[in-house]
Amino acid sequence: MFEFLFNYSPEVYARGQFIFASNWPIWTLIATFLVLSLVIVYFLYQNRNAFGSARLALIGLLQLAMLALALLLVWQPSLLLERLRPGDNVIAIMLDTSASMSYGAENQTRVDTAKNTIAGPAFSQLQRDYQFRNYVFADNASAVDNYDVLPEPGTGTNLGDSLLKVLRQASTASLGAIILLSDGADNTGTIRQEQLAEIAGYGVPIHAIGMGQEQIPEDLELTEVVLAEKALPNSTLSAQINIRHDTGGDVRVKVYDGDAFLAAKTVPLAATESTTTAWLDFNVSDTGHRELRFSLDPLPEERNLINNAQTRVINIPEASYRVLYVEGEPRWEYKFMRRAVEDDKSLQLVSLLQVSPNKFYRQGINLPEELAEGFPVEKAALYPFHALIIGSIDAALFTPEQQKLLHDFVSERGGSLLLLAGPNGLGNGGWGNTIIGDVLPAALPDTDNAFSRTQVPVRLTPVGRQSPMLKFSDDSAANEKLWQELPDIADYQTIGALRPAAVTLLEYTVDNRQQPLFLTQPYGRGHSFLLATGGTWRWQMSLPVEDQRHETFWRQILRGLVATAPENFELSGTMQGNKLLIRADVRDQDFEPINDITVAAVITQAGAEAVTLKLQPAADQAGVFEGEYQPQQPGTLAIEAISSRGDEPLATARLSIQNEIGNAEYFSLRQNRALLERLAESSGGKYWTPDQLQDLPDAIQLSRAGITEQDIRPLWDVPAIFLLLILLKSLEWGLRRRWRTI
């Protein structure tokens, strides 16, 4: 309708410059209008007796409008355009042939729709004026003669690199535009900002034609599973599950360890949301690497089931983690904490109990001479521990050097520090006035009355409900109930303002106000914790003998403290697209970075030969070595890294990681319109749908990237102008008839 009324598409009007083709001076147009306007006013004045003043003014305005419009036509209004010169320019057609383009509905895939689009009238019109260069792409772009026979569907999509390759190859030709036919699924790494800037720098508009549905109600997608890379044996883990959906209802989430079923949960999906996040709790026991498979039960009409499942590998090392507990008095918490972990082979609780100003009672030590002089004064004696617990003991009993050692234990070694409340703990013990105060998740008031022997109830916070340290049951409702049924704790200690990064996991109620009880924050490479009570022992005293909640609480707290503490040789790996990025962080016994070594990684996979990869020192981080490897098949990758100085091996680290190459194209099936629009807008192009391409030839014709010429489009014969003239005259005639003046 727009082109019928105005002769040209909106693209022409948006890009064109308004001019008068007659080349007559504008002042003559204005002068002619003024002279003829006076003539009209004179004749209307002569007929003033036939009209009232209001009617006379309205008739005058209509006649003046008609006069102005007629004079504009005489001066030949036109649009001046810069357009691609026909026959001298190239248009690059880029067809996405990745596996996601094989998805479709009603027996027609996305790639079929794209081929039909290329064979349609818009492309036929373009081909009459421009040369086509045809490309197909998935993780890389390549030129083809035509689209009759397409390559096998690619296992990944790399839009950024593919576009840059086409732009570089065509830089010697007069490239007027790129037409991109894709669903926008970029799963080998998102387009980086520097790539986007380089694409825009070529000045070639990209016209993106979006393929596929933006919503797929019949499809569920397990988009992400967030899970720790390592855990202790016999741990309860919480996996964060993210589900993409376009419909409401309930879905069942399950997790398996190989063929062994571990847990399941029903997750409600809100019809008003497109993404739902849930938590699934389960237990792991055996050491080694565990291949955990998470899956969603399919919808009745769901066809793509690959994106309903994801596999994660978790490493459960066969190791003993050491915790040092320093206490200033023989409290019940001290006794019950030791009892809670005495049968846990993964934890070794070493304790120093002060019995006199310069004497400590030691328990859990490995050697008679260990900690014989009390709290360590050197890194070599303290850093073998993974976590520290400081109870009701005055900070003044620690020298400034020992306090600095505590600080560095968290920030440099990456250990966990937990401070407990007590008559001489937290602020009462002066810890807020030491260097340790900077490490803690809250300020500690320097007051003698902060510790209160008043019984108060304890409740989980929303964040605490998801913490594996605070799970009495895998069922969230049952866990909440078990916490609500606990007896009140025996005491509490007030703390000050929370740090910006602090997270509260437990809180207590006093005077009808919620106060933080158990909180944490990251600090440097490690974590710090505060437990503002020394009275959880009332749970043990008040509950039946068979009730193990108090033992479970302390066992899981200690496990949580050591779970994130790094070792001297830490190995990590992530899949980025179809590449495995390996990172090794190597430190000495004082956890200082080591640089004068070499690190090699041996990568093995079932059905493939072992590959040895030499890791290179990172440019910006001491003691860090990095490498890149491209697996050739899906499955679990076992990585063993070996550090050496010369010919002497120093240490080893092991890691297993799941490679799901080949499956990425079955995720993110919904058209990524936002990415396509971003590409188009940044390059000066436009986003299109396959059924709205009638203006595409005009949009491409007006590109300024190739060889251009000026084009003048006349506007004097635009139907809308003649319709407006008829409307104005008809309106005047109708008014005159109504007023009986003709």
pLDDT digits (tens, 9 = 90+) for 258-294: 889 999 999 999 999 999 998 888 888 777 788 899 9
- The CA-to-CA distance between both ends of the chain, in Å, stands at 36
Give the per-residue pLDDT at 322.
94
Q: What is the pLDDT of residue 741?
A: 66
> What are the φ and ψ backbone dihedral angles of 672, each rounded to 5 degrees?
-90, 75
What number is the average pLDDT over the span 702-710? 73
- pLDDT at position 357 is 77
Closest CA to 419 of 430, 332, 503: 430
Residue 169 or residue 693, greater confidence = 693
Q: What is the pLDDT of residue 709?
A: 67
Fold of the 321-563 domain: Rossmann fold (3.40.50)
The stretch 1-8 carries a mean pLDDT of 74
Taking only the tens place, the pLDDT of each residue in 105-145 is: 667 899 999 999 999 999 999 999 899 999 999 888 999 99
**Residue 478 pLDDT exceeds 70:** yes
Lowest mean pLDDT among 109-113, 239-243, 632-636: 632-636
Q: What pLDDT, on a 0 to 100 scale, did the predictor assign at position 459?
A: 95
Among the listed residues 90, 177, 186, the one whose alpha carbon sits nearest the alpha carbon of residue 685: 177
Q: What is the arithmetic mean of pLDDT over 686-710?
A: 84
Q: What's the pLDDT score for residue 705?
A: 80
Distance (Å, whole) CA 638 – CA 658: 9
pLDDT at 190: 66
Confidence of residue 742 (pLDDT cuts 50, 70, 90): low
Domain spanning 86-215+669-706, CATH class: alpha beta
pLDDT score, position 528: 97
Q: 313-322, 379-388, 412-421: which has the minimum mean pLDDT?
A: 313-322
**For residue 7, pLDDT beyond 80:** no
**Whole-number average pLDDT of the chain:** 88
Looking at the chain, the whole-number percentage of residues with pLDDT higher than 90 is 46
- Provide the H-helix boundaries in 342-475: 379-382, 400-411
173 pLDDT more than 90: no
The pLDDT-based confidence of 319 (bands split at 50, 70, 90) is confident
Looking at the predicted structure, is the pLDDT value of residue 68 above 80? yes
Q: What share of the chain in percent tops pLDDT 70?
A: 97
Residues forming CATH 2.60.40.10 domain(s) in the chain:
221-296, 569-659
Residue type, 478: A
The pLDDT of residue 53:
77
Looking at 19-23, 308-312, 597-601, 723-727, which range is the least confident one?
Answer: 19-23
Instruction: Find the mean pLDDT for residues 282-309.
Output: 88
State the Cα–Cα distance between residues 100 and 109, nearest whole angstrom. Answer: 9
Pick the more confident residue, 510 or 286: 510
Spatial separation of the C-alpha atoms in residues 30 and 273, rounded to whole Å: 60
All CATH 3.40.50.410 domain ranges in the chain, comma separated:
86-215+669-706
pLDDT for residue 80 is more than 70: no
Burial 239-249 (b: 16+ CB within 10 A, else e): bebebbbbeee
Can you say whether the dihedral through the CA atoms of 688, 689, 695, 698 is positive or negative?
positive
Residue 560 in tokens: 């949580």
Mean pLDDT of 317-337: 89
For 603-612, what is each residue's pLDDT tens digit?
Answer: 988 878 888 9
pLDDT band at 449; cut points 50, 70, 90: confident
Closest to 671 measured CA to CA, from 195, 208, 224: 208
For residue 12, pLDDT over 80 is answered with no
Segment 88-106, tens digit of pLDDT: 888 999 999 988 898 876 6
Which is more confidently placed, 533 or 63? 533
To the question of domain 221-296 being in CATH 2.60.40.10, the answer is yes
Does 381 have pLDDT greater than 80? yes
pLDDT of residue 303: 85
pLDDT of residue 659: 80
d(CA 739, CA 466): 81
CATH topology of domain 569-659: Immunoglobulin-like (2.60.40)
Q: Which of 222, 372, 232 is nearest to 297 (CA)?
A: 222
Strands 648-659 and 687-688: unpaired
Cβ neighbour number for residue 108 with a 10 Å cutoff: 10
Q: How does residue 577 score in pLDDT terms, banded at 50, 70 and 90? A: low
For residue 184, is pLDDT > 80? yes
Total residues found in the chain within this entry: 742
The pTM score is: 0.72
Question: What is the predicted pLDDT for the residue at 690?
Answer: 93
In this prediction, residue 44 carries a pLDDT of 78
Q: Which residue has the higher pLDDT, 235 or 523?
A: 523
Residue 729 confidence (pLDDT): 83
Non-local CB neighbours of 337 within 8 Å, separated by 6+ positions = 325, 349, 554, 558
